[in-house]
Chain A
Amino acid sequence: MPPSEIQRDGRRFPDDDLPTGSVVDGERLASSRGDSFDAVVVGSGAAGAVAAHVLASAGLEVAIVEEGPWIKTREVREDVRTTFERAMRLRGMQILHGRAYMPMLQGRCVGGSTFVNSAIAWRAPEDVFDEWSRRFGLGDAITAASLEPHFEALERDLSVRPVALEILGENNRLFLEQAKRFGFEAAPMRRYENGCRGSGMCVTACPTAAKQGMSVTYVPWALRLGRARIFTSCRVERVEIRGGRAAAVVARTATGHVVSLHARRAVLVAASTVQTPNLLRRSGVRSPALGKHFQAHPGLALGGLFDRPVEMAFGATQGAESIHFRKTDRFKLETISLPPDLAAARVPGVGAELAERLAQLGNVAVWAAQVRAEAEGTVQEGWGGVDRVRYTLTENDLRAARKAAALIARMMFDAGAREVWPGIYGVPSVLRSIDEVRYIDEAPLDPRAYNFIATHLFGAARMGPDARSSVVDPTFAVHGVDGLYVVDSSVFPTNLGVNPQHTIMAMSRLAATRLAERLAERRAA
């Protein structure tokens, strides 16, 4: 049975009509090739796309190398299977190893995870930068003030705005109403969007290009400047470091051919927290801090079945949130409208019981918590070159998750939920009254009891002034290697407690802007 087609009214999208020759498709390349650019950017997600656009805007010739394919807006389908198979790393089956296994979702396509995320824009709170400055010795290099113009530019470029009332949807509206009843602050999310119709499809990519992901914004914008080219479906094997300087990027296409891209001035790695450390390792970078201090925001979601329509299928996929508990309890609350493909996996029961509940999915709300976990893990390359992340949550992290889950359950029952599905082992799979939420309060503090998903990833190539305890210096340059920069969230010394895309882009924009200025000064000299 083919996935259903989506009507698009014959519209043209920003990822249509790209300049001739600006896209080299590694799924079609029939022979090996070499090219030369001023800068080569590895990765086309939030960090890579922004950096490439900044450098191309500064007059540099730029190559972007992306491991995955370019999935155009008109190819977007509404089912999860089709999207995951093509757009997600390991077809959506990537996992973190530890005391418990945790699915880890990463986009692997042009736009990276911005292709399949909910486009949530959060400036990292000032306490994060204060901590980076104080504990990690970043001083004045990375501050809220230094990032301010970059946040502003990004917000302008990507049309950041709060979710409009007409596309808020009941899942989000109900959450806001309940937060108010429970006496804590919550608000509609601010997102990168331009003309959102509330199709509730952020997770399977936007069918109308209203979501301002990188594949419909900075990547095509960079290509249209005429100085950038993107190599898609090309997996970077290594950065060639010659004489202590990053000289080239060597990639292999999906067809098995080698693409060698000479970098005249710089290589910027933006391959993500998991792939960047392993790429640096394969390239010969030897740092005692490489692959250490991996952090995440593990998320868990609860479903609530109501006697009235909630219609998750309409409205912003994620449209309401609260950071009220971020500092005190280390969690953030938010809504998430799951498509039936993903929701069905989490609904209790099998057979007739499952079907009965799924037939009422239109009456289900899903609210979630993401924990600002204190746990740290490691990123390594396993046998056969696979990425291997080891990560186990601490008891404090589990306590935060449990408290958040109990709060969500109480909010749902107070809103009139007939059933709440906590998805925690040791707690009944179906709770039927607010009194039963006490079972969540008593849930075991064992990571194997919870169904977390890791989406926000940080660290593993940490920034700092000391080469013994960090991988890159405060100018984003890899210690001891000229011309090699890391501009993704692997340089973050800590996690944030809020959604990271905005801060990732701002950091990358700052890094690329400073690099372009330095290169211009050298040219002038």
Chain B
Amino acid sequence: MKLFAFERAWVAAAFDAVFPEGTALPHGIARMEPGRYYAEAVEKAALEQALGLRASLWIVALAPLWLLRTPRTIASIGPGDRRRVLERLLASPIYAVRQLVAAFKAMAAMLYAQSPAARAAMTAPRRRAAVSGLVPLRRGPAMHAEERGGHDHAAE
């Protein structure tokens, strides 16, 4: 099973939202040819797994349609919106959606950790300020902020 060029572009855009440039890690994932990597994974996977990989990509790619109510794909929205879309998908009340998108994130992580620089940055102990500014998300039925002590972010 092969990926089309537009699907590869979706992968590149979505992976870039997971590991963008200009963060606490040494570089973004875009320079690691994510489209080719994902296409290769789909091509070599067994049928069921290949379908799952493809389904997860299509969910991520088309999610702006219903999450942002805009007729665009993941590749044609800005970086901030991409990040918000992924966060909401990972916290989706629909089990299949959040599982498939979690698998998509795992694929990105597996590629990113192949970078020696990124790997070194992730394994060396360091002290950092607490993470702040978690993005507020729409609540799913299983999680209400009031009932959960004010937390209102992704439950991945």
The answer to whether A binds B is yes
Expressed in whole angstroms, the Cα–Cα distance for A386 and B90 within the complex equals 29
CB-defined contacts of A363 to chain B, threshold 8 Å: 125-127
* Interchain CB contact under 8 A, B23 and A351: yes
B154: contacting residue among A344, A348, A355, CB under 8 A: A348
CB-defined contacts of A344 to chain B, threshold 8 Å: 109, 112-113, 122
Expressed in whole angstroms, the Cα–Cα distance for A210 and B63 within the complex equals 47
Expressed in whole angstroms, the Cα–Cα distance for A330 and B109 within the complex equals 33
CB distance from A500 to the nearest CB of B (A): 26
* Interchain CB contact under 8 A, A340 and B24: no
CB-defined contacts of A310 to chain B, threshold 8 Å: 125
| B116 contacts chain A at the CB level, 8 A cutoff | yes
CB-defined contacts of A307 to chain B, threshold 8 Å: 127
| A91 contacts chain B at the CB level, 8 A cutoff | yes
| Nearest B-chain residue to A89, judged by Cβ | B46
State which residues 215-244 of A face B: CB under 8 Å.
Answer: none
State which residues 80-125 of B face A: CB under 8 Å.
Answer: 83, 86-87, 90-91, 95, 98-99, 102, 105-106, 109-116, 118-119, 121-125
| B155 contacts chain A at the CB level, 8 A cutoff | yes
| Nearest A-chain residue to B121, judged by Cβ | A359
9-residue interface stretch from A64-72, A141-149, A417-425, A477-485: A417-425
| Nearest B-chain residue to A354, judged by Cβ | B18
How many residues of B sit at the interface, in one of the four size bands? 35 or more
* Interchain CB contact under 8 A, B134 and A418: no
Expressed in whole angstroms, the Cα–Cα distance for A295 and B156 within the complex equals 26
| Nearest B-chain residue to A92, judged by Cβ | B110
A3: contacting residue among B23, B114, B125, CB under 8 A: B114
B95: contacting residue among A78, A309, A356, A448, CB under 8 A: A448
Given contacts A341-B110, A362-B125, contact A348 B156 (CB under 8 A): yes
How many residues of A sit at the interface, in one of the four size bands? 35 or more
| Nearest B-chain residue to A101, judged by Cβ | B99
Expressed in whole angstroms, the Cα–Cα distance for A341 and B112 within the complex equals 8
| B47 contacts chain A at the CB level, 8 A cutoff | yes
| Nearest A-chain residue to B130, judged by Cβ | A418
9-residue interface stretch from A105-113, A285-293, A408-416, A426-434: A426-434
Given contacts A90-B46, A350-B86, A362-B125, contact A345 B23 (CB under 8 A): no
* Interchain CB contact under 8 A, B98 and A351: no
CB-defined contacts of A419 to chain B, threshold 8 Å: 131
* Interchain CB contact under 8 A, B124 and A429: no
| B72 contacts chain A at the CB level, 8 A cutoff | no
CB distance from B46 to the nearest CB of A (A): 5
Expressed in whole angstroms, the Cα–Cα distance for A349 and B114 within the complex equals 20
* Interchain CB contact under 8 A, A362 and B124: yes
CB distance from A445 to the nearest CB of B (A): 12
A93: contacting residue among B45, B83, B154, CB under 8 A: B45
Give 12 A-B pairs besides A81-B111, A425-B155, A428-B155 with Cβ atoms closer than 8 angstroms: A91-B41, A307-B127, A312-B123, A340-B118, A341-B113, A341-B114, A350-B18, A352-B20, A356-B128, A359-B24, A424-B155, A448-B95
Binding site for B on A (CB under 8 A): 1, 3-4, 78-81, 84-85, 90-91, 93, 100-101, 307-313, 339-346, 348-363, 384, 386, 418-419, 423-430, 435-436, 439, 444, 448-449, 451
The 6 closest A-B pairs by CB, nearest first: A362-B125, A309-B125, A355-B23, A428-B151, A344-B109, A345-B106
> Can you report 25 residue pairs joining A to B where beta carbons are below 8 Å apart?
A1-B116, A80-B113, A81-B111, A91-B41, A93-B49, A100-B95, A340-B122, A340-B123, A341-B113, A345-B105, A348-B154, A349-B87, A351-B86, A357-B131, A358-B121, A359-B121, A361-B123, A362-B122, A362-B124, A362-B126, A363-B126, A425-B155, A428-B153, A430-B131, A436-B151
